[in-house]
Amino acid sequence: MRRDIEFRSEGVTCRGWFYTPDGVATNKPLPTIVMAHGFSAVKEMRLDRFAEVFAHAGMASLVFDYRGLGASDGSPRYDIDPWTQITDYRNAISFARQLPAVDAERIGIWGSSYSGGHVLVVGALDRRVKAVVSQVPLIDAWDSLGNMLGVQGRAAMAQQFIEERERVYAGGTPLTMPVVGAAGAAAALPGDDSWEWFQLAAKTAPTWKNEITVLSMQRLLEYAPGLYVDRIAPTALLMIVAEHDFLPVAGARRAFERAGEPKRFCLLPAGHFAAYEPPHFASASGEAVAWFRQHLRM
């Protein structure tokens, strides 16, 4: 069972879906998972698959688009700020806890890629959360982009962002760039894997646009959610990492080692986007279900 929902986040309306298991009375409080997507992506890009699996396991899910993206209001459009997205997560939790179908003391959060980093921060800061699933997470963008571009390439990128910030401050219209492009393209996430998955997932996501502001990339470069990992405990943390990710696996392992118990590290023998698609979707979603069932007292 799925219905459309909307909630206010710092004066902006965010929209999404609320899932409950078929045949469950809406006045029966359920453990509930709050979830949103990664960098630029919207809820139609496979989040429905995860929410359906959670519903079959007896959990409710609140799935939403961040402000400025997808079905949600907010401007400028396609301007991504990790800290406003974290605020949207926390306001989504507040909204969910007011719903009659939700057990306010059994809230889990799920995130993937960029939002895999967000849930590390939310789990560390917000004790309303009882269980965290962080899938293929961004840990430290400075390190990641250094590995991908080299130190000189990263420095050149940082200088371009400073120039764009000063240009916008002087009254210029913010420049935009593609989110994805084939290998060698000028895009936020260049590479054939990124290009192919976003093109596939976009077929079911008419509100997604292959565009972000250049300043979104500056905020990405400055974002290091892994710094919060050692503050998550005693909230339960499951980290699902892709062995062949373009994000550094070693960085995810180091972050996980700093986390307190209870925690679990799961390694998928695949690339960054494999968790959204068969056959690895079954493994990733199954691990998440088992973790939530254990730590949301089901």
What is the tens place of the pLDDT at every residue in 116-162?
A: 999 999 999 999 999 999 999 999 999 988 887 888 988 998 999 99
> What distance in Å separates the CA atoms of residue 212 and residue 79, rounded to the nearest whole number?
6
pLDDT at 24: 63
Radius of gyration of the chain (CA): 18
Given a contact cutoff of 8 angstroms between Cβ atoms, the answer to whether 259 and 233 are in contact is yes
pLDDT at 213: 97
Given a contact cutoff of 8 angstroms between Cβ atoms, the answer to whether 247 and 140 are in contact is no
pLDDT at 38: 97
> What distance in Å separates the CA atoms of residue 239 and residue 267, rounded to the nearest whole number?
8
> What distance in Å separates the CA atoms of residue 41 and residue 47, rounded to the nearest whole number?
10
DSSP E strand boundaries for the chain: 2-9, 12-19, 30-35, 60-64, 102-112, 129-135, 176-177, 180-181, 189-190, 212-213, 236-242, 263-268
Residue ranges of the chain with per-residue pLDDT less than 50:
none
> What distance in Å separates the CA atoms of residue 289 and residue 44, rounded to the nearest whole number?
20
Q: Which domains does the chain have, with CATH numbers?
A: 2-140+225-295 (3.40.50.1820)
What does the buried/exposed string (b/e) look like for 36-68 if buried means 16 or more CB atoms within 10 Å of the residue's CB? bbbbbbbbbbbbbebbebbbebbbbbbbbbbbb
> What distance in Å separates the CA atoms of residue 123 and residue 148, rounded to the nearest whole number?
28
Given a contact cutoff of 8 angstroms between Cβ atoms, the answer to whether 161 and 214 are in contact is yes
> What distance in Å separates the CA atoms of residue 275 and residue 277, rounded to the nearest whole number?
6
pTM (2 decimals)?
0.96
pLDDT at 262: 98
Measured CA distances, 259 to 109, 124, 200, 228, 253 (Å): 17, 10, 35, 9, 10
What does the angle CA 14 – CA 65 – CA 191 come to, to the nearest 5 degrees?
155
Identity of the residue numbered 204: T
